[in-house]
Structure 1
Amino acid sequence: MKATIWHNPKCGTSRKTLALLEETPDIEVTVVEYLKTPPSRAKLEQLYRDAGITPQEGLRVRGSPAEELGLTDDSVTADQILDAMASEPTLIERPLVETEKGVRLCRPQERVQEII
């Protein structure tokens, strides 16, 4: 099975999720350091749709400029959040993992077990 993780090596949860993937037999892992190689807006939209969450649920608030940009306000649309994430990848909560079984925002890291 192939798995892609949108990873931040400075994040403990992301590192633990990656370790779970690497320790699982028969998984070929592709690591995308999303701060260096951000996903496109269309890819983000697809990942959240496939994960069954909204862009609001995928918004990283802690340690990001989300509040200063007004993105935590209830009137902000999913499209506005996706546009902001596409231009400022620190707004993307991590880690996102995609396999043939689906996509999960792996917080906590054990959520990756649902799709491997």
Structure 2
Amino acid sequence: MPNVTLFHNPRCSKSREALALLQDAGCQIDIIEYLKTPPDAATLKQLLSQLQLTPRELMRTKESEYKAQGLDNPALSDDELIAAMVATPKLIERPIAIVNDEAVIGRPPEKVLTLL
């Protein structure tokens, strides 16, 4: 089984389900609790490249912080959105599983198994 890096929030049911699926599959898992150790801008840019997403597509747009910080403004640059996720990691969609150069968002949780 491959080594999997998982950006994980233990309070999120989808994140817990994805972790359980990877454990059941016998994967070696490096867990990053991204709320405790948020990714920096360079890491987020790498993740976005691996996920083939724009910064806004990686954001949890229904979080109160999204609206409160004015992040729904379409004029904001990618760098501004990335800076917002670095400052407020709660805005990052989860869970994110990475194997080698491939990454997926585990929504639904079973999607993480596509990397195996």
TM bucket normalised to smaller? over 0.9
Matched, 1:17 2:18: yes
Is the contact made by 2:5 and 2:99 (CA closer than 8 Å) also made in structure 1? yes
Between the aligned partners of 2:47 and 2:8, the Cα distance in structure 1 is: 14
Deviations 1:15-40 (A, max 9, x none): 00001111112x21011111001111
Between the aligned partners of 1:64 and 1:15, the Cα distance in structure 2 is: 23
Matched, 1:31 2:38: no
Using the TM superposition, name which of 42-51 and 93-102 deviates more. 93-102
Q: Considering only aligned residues, what root-mean-square deviation do their CA atoms show, in Å?
A: 1.2
Structure 1 residues 64 and 35, CA gap change in structure 2 (3 angstroms): farther
Q: What TM-score, normalized by structure 2, do the two folds share?
A: 0.93
Structure 1 residues 2 and 90, CA gap change in structure 2 (3 angstroms): same
Task: Give the aligned residue type for 1:56.
Answer: R
Which of the two has greater helix per residue?
A: 2
How many residue pairs are counted as aligned between the two chains? 115
Between the aligned partners of 2:84 and 2:114, the Cα distance in structure 1 is: 29
Identity %: 37
Deviation (angstroms), 1:76: 1.8
Deviations 1:56-106 (A, max 9, x none): 100012234011111122222211110111111111111111112510111
Deviation (angstroms), 1:44: 0.8
Deviant stretches of 4+, over 3 Å: none
Between the aligned partners of 1:64 and 1:29, the Cα distance in structure 2 is: 31
Unaligned runs of 5+ in 1: none
Q: What TM-score, normalized by structure 1, do the two folds share?
A: 0.93
Between the aligned partners of 1:69 and 1:5, the Cα distance in structure 2 is: 27
Unaligned runs of 5+ in 2: none
Q: What SS does the aligned partner of 1:30 have?
A: strand
